[in-house]
Amino acid sequence: MPRMRAVDAAVAILEKEGVDTAFGLPGAAINPFYSAMRTHGGIRHILARHVEGAAHMAEGYTRAGAGNIGLCIGTSGPAGTDMITGLYSASADSIPILCITGQAPVARLHKEDFQAVDIAAIAAPVTKMAMTVLQPAQVPGAFQQAFHLMRSGRPGPVLLDLPFDVQMAEIEFDPDTYERLPVYKPSASRAQAARALDLLAASERPLIVAGGGIINADASALLVEFAELTGVPVIPTLMGWGAIPDDHPLMAGMVGLQTSQRYGNATMLASDFVLGIGNRWANRHTGGLDVYRAGRTFVHVDIEPTQIGRVFAPDYGIVSDAKAALEIFLEVARERQTEGRLANREEWARECQERKRTMLRRTHFDDVPVKPQRVYEEMNKAFGPQTRYVSTIGLSQIAAGQFLHVYRPRHWINAGQAGPLGWTIPAAIGVTAADPEGSVVALTGDYDFQFMMEELAVGAQFRLPFIHVLVNNAYLGLIRQSQRGFDMDYCVQLSFDNINSPEVNGYGVDHVKVAEALGCKALRVFEPSDILPALQEAQKMTAEHRVPVVVEIILERVTNISMGTEIDNVVEFEELAISPEDAPTAIALLD
């Protein structure tokens, strides 16, 4: 049996499990692991500037491709605690990432050793498994189990904490005969599919709510096939956005309090049946449950048994992987079609389409400073269906959800549940590392950008080109808007006179200088008519220089974006579109 250090076994397992990229930041307690990566070769390492950044890069990497598992590595103590936000955001959105931390030697764990902290206990609530491996011979099993858990059932992250002496100890391990453990994924039965389709058949105005579980299961094509076969319109959730192309006639819009369209909410309110697949009835999607549920029958399909009934009791629940469920749904539906038992849903689908064509918000404003709505109109013109958008939180993310177009799964990459400021830049780096020839467009407000802008240097160093659209209102805009309820504008201003950069007109931080100082390129835009040329120029610059290119758009300071407390009570702050010229890139008007 080959003898090797536990860390050498661990790195051999990473290779066997298909990991070839790591995002990390070394320190003394994780140096043995780094020495194993160096000896083994074959793992590309991207050096983050902040350990939280490494965790978000790993998330972006996973989210970019089916089967990807992002790996993030840090030393002991603060490196582990820095990665907790990434573990939280990954677990909340059902994203598998593997986080490896160094640790003080086993015998000194109890002695308040330098940077010894019980990271496994801290990480426990935000991981599927968090383990300080105390026995060197357990290392192969811990890694094997980690991959099994990350891929099984509801996907999610794992943390493995390796004490220094455990890393260094020699063990017996044979990489050649290592096997991946089987992955557990429950499947809907025929009887369950028939029951769900019976309930669907009994309805008149049905909808499918398509969640991120469909994207995780790589089942978007099956979803579209099922919708087309049954004629049922689809409402993607924020995490499911892209599962059906925005321009598909059965894509009925998004529902919710913020990232939603007027037509999406109106269609939900008009429906009488909802089949939720791989979704979790997030509160920003449902709003108040009384309004959301009134007069509707619900079927809920989820891979995690305890998710059924968590938010509300559906009329019928099925525990199944989304792909397995859609396969059997399709089989049963095809049989019913042959027997002439599928209802004709054309009239209902046409009504939904008519709402999509008419219930539009205005985007075409010529104001200077620029109104945010105009930015998304220009982005729709500049960026095609191949674009992978990466965004996190704030008014920019909300407006993006209302106005941008997404045509493919994994092309809207968003920290949906956690929304941690600073996520966007490192996540975009992870997405670009996974798809270096793809066209990645990050989108943030000024505050999200400032949270983790040092990571731009990683994009410059490792030649990971993406465009970063930075909409600058010199405000914590979303929080300023929500403070209207308190009648205050308190501690939310980011503006100041920058003594080095009078050209930013009191907007405070000079983001162009920041980006350039970090090795990136940057453009600043003040006029609406300059946005499209700047985005086109940025596309050329990313191709030429292969570094991140920031396009900063100076916005009007105060704009309120449509949002509300209930899906039947979303407040509009601007005039609505009354003619096609008001919303020239609205999806139903593009063809």
Ligand X SMILES: Cc1ncc(C[n+]2csc(CCOP(=O)(O)OP(=O)(O)O)c2C)c(N)n1
d(CA 544, CA 547) in angstroms, rounded, equals 9
Residue 480 C-beta: closest distance to ligand X, Å = 7
Of the two residues 421 and 577, which places its CB atom closer to ligand X in the complex? 421
Stretch that binds Mg ion, among 112-120, 311-319, 358-366, 469-477 (CB under 5 A): 469-477
d(CA 322, CA 179) in angstroms, rounded, equals 26
Of the two residues 277 and 504, which places its CB atom closer to Mg ion in the complex? 504
Angle, vertex CA 578, rays to CA 574 and CA 579, nearest 5: 130
Tokens linked to 393: 């939180």
Which residue of 140, 245, 445, 508 would you call a contact of ligand X, by CB under 6 A?
445
Angle, vertex CA 259, rays to CA 564 and CA 318, nearest 5: 105
Residue 289 C-beta: closest distance to ligand X, Å = 24
**Does residue 423 touch ligand X according to CB under 6 A?**
no
Which residue of 80, 420, 459, 548 would you call a contact of ligand X, by CB under 6 A?
420
CB 86 within 8 A of CB 56: yes
d(CA 37, CA 380) in angstroms, rounded, equals 42
Residue 199 C-beta: closest distance to ligand X, Å = 38
Residue 444 C-beta: closest distance to Mg ion, Å = 8
According to CB under 5 A, which residues from 416 to 445 bind Mg ion? 445
Antiparallel, parallel or unpaired: β 297-302 and 316-319 = parallel
Tokens linked to 536: 């086109």
Residue 370 C-beta: closest distance to ligand X, Å = 13
Write the single-letter amino acid at 198: D
d(CA 490, CA 493) in angstroms, rounded, equals 8
Stretch that binds Mg ion, among 75-83, 133-141, 254-262, 476-484 (CB under 5 A): 476-484
Burial of 44 (0-12, 13-18, 19+ CB in 10 A): exposed
**Does residue 396 touch ligand X according to CB under 6 A?**
yes
Of the two residues 420 and 465, which places its CB atom closer to ligand X in the complex? 420
Interface characters, 309-338, with ligand X (x: CB under 6 A): ------------------------------
Of the two residues 173 and 447, which places its CB atom closer to ligand X in the complex? 447
SS3 299: strand
- Total residues at the site for ligand X (CB under 6 A)? 18
d(CA 117, CA 78) in angstroms, rounded, equals 8
SS3 14: helix
d(CA 534, CA 525) in angstroms, rounded, equals 7
d(CA 127, CA 151) in angstroms, rounded, equals 13
Burial of 487 (0-12, 13-18, 19+ CB in 10 A): exposed
**Does residue 446 touch ligand X according to CB under 6 A?**
yes
Burial of 393 (0-12, 13-18, 19+ CB in 10 A): buried
Stretch that binds ligand X, among 32-40, 310-318, 400-408, 442-450 (CB under 6 A): 442-450
**Does residue 402 touch ligand X according to CB under 6 A?**
no
**Does residue 448 touch ligand X according to CB under 6 A?**
yes
**Does residue 80 touch Mg ion according to CB under 5 A?**
no
**Does residue 421 touch ligand X according to CB under 6 A?**
yes
Residue 50 C-beta: closest distance to ligand X, Å = 13
Residue 468 C-beta: closest distance to ligand X, Å = 12
For residue 413, report the phi and psi dihedrals to the nearest 5 degrees.
-115, 110
Which residue of 59, 446, 455, 552 would you call a contact of Mg ion, by CB under 5 A?
446
**Does residue 192 touch ligand X according to CB under 6 A?**
no
Of the two residues 273 and 475, which places its CB atom closer to Mg ion in the complex? 475
Interface characters, 101-120, with ligand X (x: CB under 6 A): --------------------
Question: b/e per residue, 529-558, with b = 16+ CB within 10 A?
Answer: ebbeebbeebbebbeeeebbbbbbbbbebe
Residue 476 C-beta: closest distance to Mg ion, Å = 6
What are the Cα distances from residue 570, in Å, to 163, 261, 287, 293, 585?
52, 10, 10, 17, 22
For residue 363, report the phi and psi dihedrals to the nearest 5 degrees.
-120, -20
Say which entry of ligand X, Mg ion, none residue 390 contacts (CB below 5 to 8 A, set by partner kind): none
**Does residue 394 touch ligand X according to CB under 6 A?**
yes
Residue 562: closest CA among 365, 380, 374, 362:
362
Residue 367 C-beta: closest distance to Mg ion, Å = 17
Write the CB contacts of 522 (distance below 8 Å, at least 6 apart in sequence): 511, 512, 515, 516, 549, 550, 551, 552
Say which entry of Mg ion, ligand X, none residue 396 contacts (CB below 5 to 8 A, set by partner kind): ligand X
d(CA 116, CA 169) in angstroms, rounded, equals 19
According to CB under 5 A, which residues from 20 to 39 bind Mg ion? none
Stretch that binds ligand X, among 27-35, 44-52, 390-398, 511-519 (CB under 6 A): 390-398
CB 235 within 8 A of CB 262: no
Residue 182 C-beta: closest distance to ligand X, Å = 38
Residue 448 C-beta: closest distance to ligand X, Å = 4
Of the two residues 276 and 420, which places its CB atom closer to ligand X in the complex? 420
According to CB under 6 A, which residues from 457 to 476 bind ligand X? 473, 475-476
Of the two residues 33 and 449, which places its CB atom closer to ligand X in the complex? 449
Which residue of 235, 393, 467, 567 would you call a contact of ligand X, by CB under 6 A?
393
d(CA 355, CA 351) in angstroms, rounded, equals 6
For residue 416, report the phi and psi dihedrals to the nearest 5 degrees.
-65, -50
Stretch that binds Mg ion, among 31-39, 341-349, 474-482, 515-523 (CB under 5 A): 474-482
Residues within the interface to ligand X (CB under 6 A): 393-396, 419-421, 444-448, 473, 475-479
Binding site for Mg ion (CB under 5 A): 445-446, 473, 475, 477
